[in-house]
Amino acid sequence: MGKTKKDRISQRKETTLNKLKGLGQTIIDDVHEKKIPSLKIPSRGTSNLVYDKDKRYYVLGDRYGKRSLGNVKQIRKIGQMMYVSNFCKNLVQIEKTATLREMYYVSEGWGMSFANQQESNVLAEDLEVTISSSREDLGLMPEEDGASVYGNIILKEGDVEINGLRSGKSGYTISPTIDEVEFIDCDVKRVIAVETMGMFHRMVQEKAHDKFDTIIVGLKGQPARATRRFLKRVNQELKLPVYICNDGDPWGFHIAMVIISGSAKLAHVNHDLATPDAKFLGVTATDIVKYDLPTDNLKEIDVLRLKELLKDPRYKDKIWQLEIKKMLKIGKKAEQQAFSKYGLEYVVDTYFPEKLDAIEN
């Protein structure tokens, strides 16, 4: 008999706890062996990022940096690392979580406090990559709310079952601890994720979940880690195709690609977050022309960003190259809500059916 979800979560926590203890033991061993204590920290610089063509997302290379107590400038960083490690060890042991903001305030009592929260956030990322465990496994959570999910799916958080169709018009809010949430039942054919909450609510109002037999996910702009993990899990565990509909501009393209191929910044956890088989549903430059959408002119920063995307290995496919070049040629961009030119129902009644038919058939 295979392990239950509870067993897998328990094993994951035990593994994380052992890694944290091992990190502290590294320092102790150096002291016992009369060596200058030091830590090897995998480099997260751009020179150590590698796009894995087979996995279809960014991974970290094999370069490391060394922090040593023999370097006066690094003593504070190592001290902070040990305090954060111990803080996370306690969280894992008592099975509680803390937000990154809470950790920042707790650090005020350590004698190794941070200059600002950005510094403490970076240290938490250093810890993640050093012991190869995710921030969520360490018990650290972001402040932002999760994305909204609406559709025929039943999930279980702890002892509570949640129905995605009976959670109000805003649906189920994805938990930061999404790996601890069980999928009890799901009777749909696909998942459609949309960038804006305006489009999410439009789809709910027009009953897109019924019309397309889909789960609707409102990304709230650049999706949080938990949102990306949810999309990967429903794709892998429930075998549901994932489609992404964003604004037709370089930033919308980027948001979609972060879901599909992961981000450079989080190369150390892309294996848990990227959904390489997800498909971009729109809005494209071709859509802007075909549907004669209301547009805005590309700004200089948009043009520069599009040219950067052309060189990014994640956009090597012909369709991406075509759409980016076409957007540069027409010099226009458009929002998802631009389809309202033809009426509020148009995006659900006409646009999505045509796009899904083109992709799936």
CATH assignment at residue 216: 3.40.1360.10
Active-site position among 51, 57, 64, 105: 105
Range of the domain at 17: 5-141
Q: Which residue in 262, 184, 252 sits closest to 222, CA to CA?
A: 252
Residue 143: per-residue pLDDT: 79
User: Are residues 135 and 152 part of one domain?
Assistant: no
Residue 1: per-residue pLDDT: 46
User: Are residues 166 and 282 part of one domain?
Assistant: yes
Q: Quick: pLDDT tens for 281-330.
A: 989 999 999 999 999 999 999 999 999 999 999 999 999 999 999 999 99
User: Are residues 155 and 73 part of one domain?
Assistant: no
User: Are residues 77 and 202 part of one domain?
Assistant: no
| List of E strands, 8-77 | 38-42, 49-52, 57-60, 64-68
Q: How far apart are CA 78 and CA 88, in angstroms?
A: 15
The total domain count for the chain is 2
Between strands 98-99 and 64-68, the pairing is: unpaired
Q: How far apart are CA 105 and CA 349, in angstroms?
A: 50
Q: 51-55 long-range contacts, Cβ below 8 Å, gap at least 24?
A: 51/313, 51/314, 53/313, 55/271, 55/274, 55/276
> Is 291 noted as a catalytic residue in this protein?
no
User: Are residues 75 and 47 part of one domain?
Assistant: yes
Final residue belonging to a domain, choices 141, 168, 192: 141
User: Are residues 160 and 94 part of one domain?
Assistant: no
CATH assignment at residue 61: 1.10.10.10
Residue 166: per-residue pLDDT: 83
User: Are residues 118 and 194 part of one domain?
Assistant: no
User: Are residues 125 and 160 part of one domain?
Assistant: no
b/e sequence 199-227, b meaning 16+ C-beta within 10 Å: bbbbbbebebbeebebbbbbbbbebbbbb
The overall average pLDDT reported for the chain is 94
Final residue belonging to a domain, choices 102, 122, 141: 141
User: Are residues 100 and 117 part of one domain?
Assistant: yes
Q: How far apart are CA 162 and CA 99, in angstroms?
A: 24
User: Are residues 104 and 16 part of one domain?
Assistant: yes
User: Are residues 322 and 205 part of one domain?
Assistant: yes
Q: Tens place of pLDDT for every residue, the chain, 361 residues? A: 457 777 888 898 999 999 999 999 999 999 999 999 999 999 998 899 999 999 999 999 999 999 999 999 999 999 999 999 999 999 999 999 999 999 999 999 998 889 999 999 999 999 999 999 999 999 999 876 779 999 999 999 989 999 999 877 788 999 999 999 999 999 999 999 999 999 999 999 999 999 999 999 999 999 999 999 999 999 999 999 999 999 999 999 999 999 999 998 899 999 999 999 999 998 999 999 999 999 999 999 999 999 999 999 999 999 999 999 999 999 999 999 999 999 999 999 999 999 999 999 8
Q: Which two tokens stand for residue 291?
A: 């549907």
User: Are residues 122 and 153 part of one domain?
Assistant: no
Final residue belonging to a domain, choices 80, 114, 141: 141
